[in-house]
Structure 1
Amino acid sequence: MKKNVCPDRLPDIQAAKCDNNGEALSWVGMEQIDLPVEIAGRPVSAKVNAGINLLSSPDAEKGIHMSRLYLLLDELTQGEMTPALLQHVLGAFLASHQGRSNEASIEVSGELLLSRKSLNSNHAGWKAYPVVLNAGLTPSFTVTLSVGIPYSSTCPASAALSRQVAEWQFRHDFGNRIDPLSATEIAQWLGEKGMPATPHSQRSWAWVSIRLPSDAASLPVLQLIDYAEIALGTAVQTVVKRSDEQAFAVANGQNLMFCEDAARRLHHIFCAAPFCDTFDIRVEHQESLHPHNAVARIHGKGGHHAT
């Protein structure tokens, strides 16, 4: 019986010289790698893109050793994701291809599940926030954190038109009255007919991307979400009892917003955010009136610059 033969040295085709001029490649790596990570103290089932550039040289090799990068990514699973950990892994990427690369990047995407309290009834439920981390070493180190925040937006124009219809209905019902109206009659009318038209509202999204300060020790995911939801005032809810739904209706009535209003609210609050170097904001109102969306974008510098 023949024994399996294990040669002392296996062929390394990636290390072979290129057949052509060995042009530089701006990025080579892997996408959609499954990885369990921890962000803001919560487990996240993430998809990871990881790669490096490939420098040009007369004796350039065919490609990179992707398995080296893949194995190094396991360090991201060993504890809380931090800027320092990302920088360490990116440095290890370059060290694993010494002299062949001087840029490395990692993108981590997933959904962060957070427990959020109801508005009034003291219940709590879970809500998923899309999160994307982009870290690069080029040779300076940068980290960008992007989060999607769902909220409700009620159209100010639609609200004004609805109020006008209510006014017309009131004049129609009471315009010929000579005697004074009592508070009881008015309250009864409001309860039965006071809303003959309703303003349109829709689920909306704020996509906030911030570049972290160079000295950031952690990923400010929770702070970013809280800042955005405070600015908007109408975060979508999880558990909803009747008192919560009423409180949500009040919040929408007190925070009428075009997409332009929402973008400016977010700009104002993130200009003061101490955990933010620069930011980019995109808001999307998924219209219930139209088959298209209303979108606004804005960018600026965060409160870190004021410290």
Structure 2
Amino acid sequence: MTSLSLPDIAAQTVPHATALEWVGMCGIALPIVFEQQRVSAIADAGVSLDDAHARGIHMSRLYLALEQLESAPLDCNALRRLLDSFLASHTGLSNTASVRIAFNHLLKRPALVSPLAGWKHYPVEVMARANDGMFHVELFMDIAYSSTCPCSAALARQLIQESFARQFADQTAVDSEAVLSWLGTTEGVVATPHSQRSRARLKVRLEDGVDELPFTALIDAAERALGTAVQTAVKRADEQAFALANGQNLMFCEDAARRLHQALRQEKRLSGFHLRVEHAESLHAHDAVAASQWRW
């Protein structure tokens, strides 16, 4: 009995010839190696379908090519090799290849004062694209921080001043011990400024020739610029230090965006960026948002 070859429906031509910008798969589970850690990631992989008469691409070839990332460290060279294999497996069909890989980047962060430390996860993505010999990489990072409203801080200080004036109005000489005791009560500090959990969403494009994916360096630079990164394990001394950091880094969303813009402009590995900060206000039911970009 003669065995029949398996049908290749994707190789059939279509009656209405139309090229397609992107065809591929989204949400592929993938283990990767990044900064010597094995990480669970999600990948989107695809190519253009430039042969307008071809019915489809070879998706299984893209899927199997992703196995390259299971053992090799994730960097720009690994991404370039991956996209080259996408295109080599679609010669005559595709001129453009792309891949997006999303994962949680885990970093161990020390407490502000005590010897404690804990893990923080940062949602990150890398997007690579190859076309006609061109290759570029974009990174995305989501960074949580705390922001204290300068306006509410000023209003709280005014209320404390008024409370102080009432408390000691009949005293010609104020006793410092009495003031210290009064400041330690709720009658003394009658108001506090409002703060909110905030997020910085950074998209950056890497300069040509950069090999590493500098997620850690960029996250560190952003947190230094903001001054109020959210914490992990803390003792009371750390919580007090965090309160001090918030008091010394009062920020509207505009202030945070400007700080991040200036910090990213110092990064020589970038050819462009877009940033967006979101302050989930505790005063209002809506968020305060600011955005900025450079060469995007």
Q: Same fold (TM over 0.5)?
A: yes
Alignment of 1:1-307 (within 5 A): 7=3, 9-18=5-14, 20-57=15-52, 60-139=53-132, 140-178=134-172, 180-192=173-185, 193-300=187-294
For the Cα contact (< 8 Å) 2:143–2:219, is it kept in 1?
yes
Instruction: Give SS of 2:146's match.
Output: strand
Q: Aligned equivalents of 1:185 and 1:39: distance in 2?
A: 57
Instruction: Give SS of 2:60's match.
Output: helix
The residue type equivalent to 1:84 in the other structure is N
For the Cα contact (< 8 Å) 1:47–1:109, is it kept in 2?
yes
Instruction: Give SS of 1:61's match.
Output: coil
Give me the TM-score of the superposition, normalised by structure 2. Answer: 0.96
Instruction: Give SS of 2:156's match.
Output: helix
Q: Aligned equivalents of 1:54 and 1:144: distance in 2?
A: 23
Q: Aligned equivalents of 1:6 and 1:190: distance in 2?
A: 95
Q: Aligned equivalents of 1:68 and 1:226: distance in 2?
A: 38
The residue type equivalent to 2:21 in the other structure is S
Question: Which runs of no fewer than 5 residues in structure 1 stay unpaired?
Answer: 303-307
Q: Aligned equivalents of 1:273 and 1:230: distance in 2?
A: 13
1:152-204 Cα offsets, whole Å, 9 max, x none, are: 000000000000110110011111222x1121111111112331011110110
Give me the TM-score of the superposition, normalised by structure 1. Answer: 0.93
Question: Which runs of no fewer than 5 residues in structure 2 stay unpaired?
Answer: none
Q: Displacement of 1:9 after TM fit?
A: 2.1
For the Cα contact (< 8 Å) 2:30–2:41, is it kept in 1?
yes
For the Cα contact (< 8 Å) 2:72–2:78, is it kept in 1?
no
The residue type equivalent to 1:10 in the other structure is L
Q: Displacement of 1:21 after TM fit?
A: 2.3
Instruction: Give SS of 1:257's match.
Output: coil
Q: Aligned equivalents of 1:230 and 1:6: distance in 2?
A: 71
The residue type equivalent to 2:162 in the other structure is W
Q: Aligned equivalents of 1:169 and 1:233: distance in 2?
A: 31
Q: Displacement of 1:301 after TM fit?
A: 5.4
CA 1:6–1:202: 2 relative to 1, 3 Å: farther
Instruction: Give SS of 1:277's match.
Output: strand
Q: Aligned equivalents of 1:78 and 1:40: distance in 2?
A: 12
Q: Displacement of 1:144 after TM fit?
A: 0.4
What is the number of equivalent residue pairs in this alignment? 294
For the Cα contact (< 8 Å) 2:51–2:94, is it kept in 1?
no
Q: Displacement of 1:77 after TM fit?
A: 1.2
Q: Displacement of 1:22 after TM fit?
A: 1.8
Instruction: Give SS of 2:239's match.
Output: helix
CA 1:6–1:87: 2 relative to 1, 3 Å: farther
Q: Aligned equivalents of 1:92 and 1:79: distance in 2?
A: 15
CA 1:244–1:256: 2 relative to 1, 3 Å: same
Q: Aligned equivalents of 1:118 and 1:226: distance in 2?
A: 15
Q: Aligned equivalents of 2:188 and 2:147: distance in 1?
A: 22
